[in-house]
Structure 1
Amino acid sequence: MKPLVSIITPMYNSEAFIDQTIKSILGQTYTNWELWLIDDCSTDNTIALVTKYVAMHDNIQLLSNTTNAGAAISRNKGIEVSQGDFIAFLDADDLWMPNKLEIQVNVMLTQNCDVSFSSYKQINEAGQSLNKLVKALPQLSYKKYLKTNYIGNLTGMYNAKVLGKITAPNLRKRQDWLLWLSAIKKSGKTALGIQEPLAYYRVRSNSISSNKLELLKHNYWVYKKGLGFSTIKSIYRMVIFIYEHFFVKSRLIVSTKQ
């Protein structure tokens, strides 16, 4: 039997996009998966929209937080109950291409890698192409990844059968970066970057990536709180981060407009 993939999707007031997100999972050519939807006290119509999918599909499950706890707690709750050999993540406003899981599982099995990710395309809030491709590095070491976040969380997958269940620290932002840092470090091998784009990332007007000062603040806390670095070391790492993020990683975003 093919390995089971556990998909973790945290939700908060996601009624505008969650239907499309779930449909992109249902449309996968790889069918041995389970989906854990974790609602973080939504006040809109999110629960009503996903309940119909839970009723129709045995491999889709819904969990609800009793208080608004943030994405890290929600993801961790899903990881804890997951049964899969592999664990993947898809936020409630992003989409997967139909062959995403099939390609990625096959690559991980044939290449014997513990952590993988892929290139992805950007879309706007209406789902229209922004004609931008974010290219994945072919190989990603822990040392390189410490410089800035090179893994689009919607493309990442790790082998839970080999690494065990790796959870995210309780930071409100950028906890996905810390999760993948832990996974790569525990693996002891480089993460494999699949060059083919396998997902669509929805660029939101209120995302932290659209606010440069917020981006710097949250990434400082990755070093200071998430990794426990001293203030001096965290500032030093931020100098490296600024160069890597704005002058190196930025070159991986290319135009697809003909």
Structure 2
Amino acid sequence: MDNSVSVIMPTFNRAHFILYTLQSFMNQSFKNWEIILIDDGSTDNTKHIIENIKDYRIKYFIRSKEYTKGPCGCRNMGIDNALHDYILFFDDDDIAHPKLLEYSMNAFDQYEEIDFCNYGRSVFYNDSELQFKLDNSYKITTIAEEDYYKIIANILPFNTCAVVWKRTAIGSERFNETLIYSDEWEYFQRLLSNGLSGIKLEMDLIFARKHSNSSTARFLNKDSVYYKSTVRARKLAIVNLGEKLLLNKDLFKYFLNQSIILKDKSILMLTMEYYRMKSFQTFFYSIGYDIYPMLKAYYKIKSKIVRNYNNSRII
């Protein structure tokens, strides 16, 4: 394998952020990289900014019509155009630690059998908040094949920009271009369900910019399109994990909880189908789901009454 990294970066109208992101790679201590920058049809001056950067490693593409508009199509085009044996998916508004690539590639040299290198992530709102730890004192933990459910259930953080992959681990797998949110999560669970293992560097090497126009902000603001995409991603994962006989008790609980959070009973029903649950169990879980909102309201009122009663006794 060549000891170089292809950084795949979709972009759309981020002229006000992208220069800072690209500069964070030009400042890397590890120099063997390329950036495959896929423009999804920007109408601002993104192209002008890129053309003024004199670095042959930054390669600018306009998304081809062969790929669907959106981050997934851009990432797939990036994979298909990447030259190197290590892949990093990166967002056009985040910042890389100056030693992100150096530490990651050192890890691959030290642990030759791993499929990916994961690392920590911090968030920031203003560039003045960024502080980089530059020493080598970080802990390394293993992520075994059986830990996949912790990543899927978000017990073990696994953000898009916080993983460098071996290209052999990705193989022919591509992002689902029908998804606009939870697409990375759905893609990564597919990769991990293929029996991959890796390590985590216990150090923040990616700094995610928080702003009101981010996809996460739209989801939290209950954008219906983003919610529907999340529901679809959960169902795709259930089918994938179910067909591979990987739906264990922990994942059943996770998808049950997701059906409640997303208020979509079909997630629960599909989970029970692929979990191969017996008919009487399916019946009771279905009834439980239906009455859960009433029980939740009841216990909330009861808790309030008890709390008020206890407060009155204290007075």
TM bin (shorter chain): 0.7 to 0.9
Question: Residue 201 and residue 139 in structure 1: after superposition, are their counterparts in 2 closer, same or farther (change >3 A)?
Answer: same
Aligned to 1:249: none
Taking the aligned partners of 2:105 and 2:6, their CA distance within structure 1 comes to: 12
Question: Residue 238 and residue 205 in structure 1: after superposition, are their counterparts in 2 closer, same or farther (change >3 A)?
Answer: farther
Q: 1:60 aligns with which of 50, 58, 61?
A: 58
Question: Residue 108 and residue 181 in structure 1: after superposition, are their counterparts in 2 closer, same or farther (change >3 A)?
Answer: farther
For residues 48-127 of structure 1, the aligned pairs below 5 Å read 48-53=48-53, 56-65=54-63, 69-111=69-111, 112-124=113-125, 126-127=126-127
Q: 2:166 aligns with which of 156, 159, 164?
A: 159
Confirm or deny: 8 A CA contact 1:2 1:32 kept in the other structure.
no
Aligned to 2:129: 129
Taking the aligned partners of 2:86 and 2:130, their CA distance within structure 1 comes to: 30
Aligned to 1:181: 189
Secondary structure class of the residue paired with 1:200: strand
Structure 1 residue 139 corresponds to structure 2 residue 143: yes
Residue 40 of structure 1 and its aligned partner are, at CA, apart by: 0.2
Secondary structure class of the residue paired with 2:150: helix
Confirm or deny: 8 A CA contact 2:186 2:236 kept in the other structure.
no
Structure 1 residue 191 corresponds to structure 2 residue 198: yes
Residue 66 of structure 1 and its aligned partner are, at CA, apart by: 5.1
What TM-score comes out, normalization by structure 1 length?
0.79
Question: Residue 120 and residue 236 in structure 1: after superposition, are their counterparts in 2 closer, same or farther (change >3 A)?
Answer: closer
Secondary structure class of the residue paired with 1:182: helix
Secondary structure class of the residue paired with 1:93: coil
Taking the aligned partners of 1:138 and 1:200, their CA distance within structure 2 comes to: 22
Taking the aligned partners of 1:227 and 1:137, their CA distance within structure 2 comes to: 28
What TM-score comes out, normalization by structure 2 length?
0.66
Confirm or deny: 8 A CA contact 2:169 2:191 kept in the other structure.
no
Aligned to 2:297: none
Confirm or deny: 8 A CA contact 1:36 1:62 kept in the other structure.
yes
Taking the aligned partners of 1:32 and 1:160, their CA distance within structure 2 comes to: 16
Task: Please give the per-residue CA displacement for 1:161-198, whole angstroms capped at 9, x wherever unaligned.
Answer: 45535421111112111222222222x23332210111
What's the C-alpha RMSD, in Å, of the aligned pairs?
3.2
**More divergent stretch after superposition (36-45 vs 202-211):** 202-211
Taking the aligned partners of 1:137 and 1:180, their CA distance within structure 2 comes to: 19
- Structure 2 gaps of 5+ residues are 132-139, 242-246, 262-315
Confirm or deny: 8 A CA contact 1:10 1:38 kept in the other structure.
yes
Question: Residue 130 and residue 21 in structure 1: after superposition, are their counterparts in 2 closer, same or farther (change >3 A)?
Answer: closer
**Larger strand percent:** 1
* Paired AA for residue 222 in structure 1: A
Question: Residue 218 and residue 194 in structure 1: after superposition, are their counterparts in 2 closer, same or farther (change >3 A)?
Answer: farther
Confirm or deny: 8 A CA contact 2:21 2:93 kept in the other structure.
yes
Residue 138 of structure 1 and its aligned partner are, at CA, apart by: 5.7
Residue 212 of structure 1 and its aligned partner are, at CA, apart by: 5.9
**More divergent stretch after superposition (147-156 vs 195-204):** 147-156
Question: Residue 90 and residue 229 in structure 1: after superposition, are their counterparts in 2 closer, same or farther (change >3 A)?
Answer: closer
Secondary structure class of the residue paired with 1:17: helix
* Paired AA for residue 139 in structure 1: I
* Paired AA for residue 219 in structure 1: T
Secondary structure class of the residue paired with 1:151: coil
Taking the aligned partners of 1:100 and 1:21, their CA distance within structure 2 comes to: 13
Larger radius of gyration: 2
Taking the aligned partners of 2:174 and 2:49, their CA distance within structure 1 comes to: 27
Residue 219 of structure 1 and its aligned partner are, at CA, apart by: 2.8
Secondary structure class of the residue paired with 1:177: helix
Secondary structure class of the residue paired with 2:15: coil
Q: 2:256 aligns with which of 235, 239, 242?
A: 239
Task: Please give the per-residue CA displacement for 1:13-55, whole angstroms capped at 9, x wherever unaligned.
Answer: 01110000110011111111111000000011111111122xx
